[in-house]
Amino acid sequence: MSAAPHSSSPASASPAAPGDANALVAAVWPSRATRDDRGVLTLGGIPATELRDRFGTPLWVLDEDEVRAQARRARSAFEVASAAHGVAARVYYAGKAFLSIEVARWVTEEGLALDVCTGGELAVALAAGVDPARLGFHGNNKSELELRAALDAGVGTIVIDSFVEIERLAALTSGRAAPARVMVRVNSGVHAETHDFLATAHEDQKFGFTLTDAVAAAARIREVPGLELVGLHGHIGSQIFGTAGFVESAARLVDLHAALSADAPLPLLNLGGGFGIAYTAADDPTPIADLARGIVDAVAAECAARGIPMPDLAFEPGRSIVGRAGVTLYSVGTTKPVTLDEGLTRLYVSVDGGMSDNARPALYGAQYSVRIASRASDADPALVRVVGKHCESGDIVVDADHLPGDVAPGDLLAVPATGAYCFSLASTYNYVPRPPVVALRGGEARVIVRGETVDDLLARDAGYTGAARALLTSAPESPMEGTA
């Protein structure tokens, strides 16, 4: 495997050296991140060095207050924008961005609904005690088992992705007392302004029905007694900064919505998620309130132009709720200067995690930034590439940033904006156990997902005799310490 050639973020390969390589760019870090008198990074009021000493590295840190605040902000943005046109908005948190029992509780306590896309994610939501009526169930290949589980649980909405699934649901709902509420996922054909792999509304991809096929899908669903078609669903991609793609897709969906509403009411329109966040100083995403207003106003205008009432709206932000709340802490193991063709020197800084805890740079060239967390330094900035410990040259955590040139083994590094799609995309490549997740709230830190041990990994191996039990288990503190 090699690194993808593109970047999902516009940071350049060799960003300009910052005046101060200790500075924390506000948009990229959790809002309470700062440096204390000693120059140590503090997260949620706790020194990063204390987090390292208690929980070890690598460590996924999630600022609960930040997640909750972002959830409230998103909910308010879409509710206010929709209320201005006299309709309601339901905001689902897209669980694929980061899902654990605690996180499911935080977002639902903040009034969000929850979107899941596999039986596993459904199980987490139910284990968290989320009201099934507030769940949306996605996925392009839901199995019979998963669909039956969703129906038995009383999931609020199932988003249908294929003709095969319609027939699967027709069979599964036959004889049930109440019809299942379903939506049709539509591939609007809009190309989101983002990396190809993230743009899910191209014609030539696996998700949803084309605008033409969606008409036939809706007609077939309306024939099935066990199904109630409540609306259309569209999602154009992820990490999108401007409103143009959303507005264009919304116009196409409203067109289809108008045609299908002529036969029977469609009370709902779900426009998905995909709202971008800043990963580096070069990123400038549109504030969520502006995006919400732009998209909702566009839907209102499209409905008015067709003389149809506006449906209630739904949205599914994931990254924009959890992304900025996450910071990954790593310990530096080795450093190695490499002279580049242009005569520049790039300092390779190897850390104790890598593509197993953050697959995004290897998957789609995602850009991140980095700071030394354990101290501030006056040393001149050096161009660095932070790499992991895995056996892949594409095992890059931070492709290009500047750190104080005296960065050295033993330093603690912090990579911000790792709350979304890092924990959820993690692997155990090279038998590197996945780190714990520590949540911060009210000046306290607690483990919400314990770290894996090598023993956990070996436990699945039928040949394991227990001979290596406890080998390499070095977490300084009991992994579940502090868990509520």
Catalytic site positions? 391
Q: How far apart are the first and last CA of the chain?
A: 40
- Return the amino acid letter for 325: A
Residues of this chain that bind ligand PLP (CB under 6 A): 94, 96-97, 138, 200, 235, 238, 272-275, 316-320, 420
166 SS3 class: helix
Binding site per annotation, positions: 274, 316-319, 360, 364, 392, 421
186 in Cβ contact with 229 (< 8 Å): no
User: Shortest gap between Cβ of 181 and ligand PLP (angstroms)?
Assistant: 17
Comparison of 43 and 322: residue with beta carbon closer to ligand PLP: 322
| Shortest spacing between CB 366 and ligand PLP, in angstroms | 12
Cis status of the peptide bond prior to 58, with omega within 30 of 0: yes
Nearer to ligand PLP, 22 or 238 (CB): 238
Residue 186's identity, in one-letter code, is V
Nearer to ligand PLP by Cβ, of 226 and 317: the residue is 317
Q: What is the closest distance, in whole angstroms, from the C-beta atom of residue 221 to ligand PLP in the complex?
A: 18
**Amino acid occupying residue 432:** V
Residue 119: φ, ψ to 5°: -60, -35
Q: Which residues are annotated as a binding site for substrate?
A: 319, 360, 364, 392, 421
| Six-digit token string for 288 | 């969520």
Nearer to ligand PLP, 96 or 195 (CB): 96
- Structural element, H or E, at residue 468: none
* Residue among 318, 413, 328 at smallest CA distance from 98: 318
At closest approach, how far in Å is the CB of 116 from ligand PLP?
11
Looking at the DSSP assignment, which residues form a beta bridge with residue 60?
328, 437
Nearer to ligand PLP, 316 or 411 (CB): 316
Residue 197 beta carbon to ligand PLP: minimum distance, rounded to whole angstroms: 10
E-strand spans in 157-223?
A: 157-160, 180-187, 209-210
Residues in Cβ contact with 349 at an 8 Å cutoff, skipping those fewer than 6 apart: 332, 334, 335, 384, 385, 386, 387, 403, 407, 413
